[in-house]
Amino acid sequence: MTYHLDGEVIDWVHDQASKIPFSTDITDFLLEISEILNQKGGYHISPRRWRKIGGILRVAAFCNNPDPHGNVNVSLLDCALLQHLVWHRHHQKPFVWETYLKVFEERLQAMPSAKICTMLPVLQHGIIFGIDRPQRGELAKIVATVVRTSEEHERRVREQEEKKRLEEEQKRLVEEEEAVQEAESQKLIDAWLANMPPEERALNLGEGN
């Protein structure tokens, strides 16, 4: 089956894509990659070129999203297209991909495991422009590894929080029990004093001379 895109469809896609925002996280992600390419790769990407790249990433985000009318943002997976967009010479392309993978993994490690898990179905069955099957496998492996590590970390955090909660609960119960015992003791003392003759009570309370 052959699909033909006429000018109206292309204009519509560009119009819809232009409304897609870049989150602070994605902006920071792109800035970090730019700095690494500049410092270690030895080449500079002009602001004008980054603006063009931003437009392409917006179109990719719109086209990759299964529900174009839903809430769409440029994602880390959409940024896989950078391997085709930021190199000056073809031999630099592997370094761009390696840089993307490195920063991608670092960013994942700061995300909750539940959010990371949403990437796996996309990598397995979704549309992601600009990456081939082996690259999907690389990304899926990174995501799965980070998810396991993140889930283990979150499990330990939950265990520590539960342990702390139980300790605080135990401390509260002990304090309540001590307060009850103290109140009971005071009642016994008050009852004992109440049954004493006035002169003897005054002596016990230190009221006599």
The tally of CA atoms less than 13 A away on the side-chain side of residue 7 is 0
Note whether residue 164 is domain-resident. Answer: no
**Does 169 map to a domain?**
no
- Whole-angstrom Cα distance, residue 143 to residue 149? 10
Q: Is 34 inside any structural domain?
A: yes
Q: Could you report the per-residue pLDDT of 90-102, keeping only the tens digit for each?
A: 888 899 999 999 9
Residue 177 domain-assigned (yes or no): no
**In this prediction, what percent of the chain has a pLDDT beyond 70?**
84
173 lies in some domain = no
pLDDT in tens, 175-205: 888 888 888 888 877 777 777 777 766 666 6
How far is it, in rounded angstroms, from Cα 81 to Cα 76?
10
Lowest mean pLDDT among 31-35, 150-154, 174-178: 150-154
Q: Give the Cα separation of 86 and 106 in Å (integer).
A: 20
As for how many domains the chain has, the answer is 1
Is the CB of residue 63 less than 8 Å from the CB of residue 122?
Answer: no
Report if residue 165 sits inside a domain: no
CA 67 to centroid of chain Cα atoms = 23
Mean local confidence (pLDDT), 14-23? 88
Cα separations in angstroms, 159 against 11, 73, 110, 117, 155: 53, 34, 20, 21, 6
Instruction: Give residue 29's domain range.
Output: 1-104
Whether 56 is covered by a domain: the verdict is yes
* pLDDT tens-digit series, residues 56-94: 999 988 888 756 566 788 999 999 999 999 988 888 889
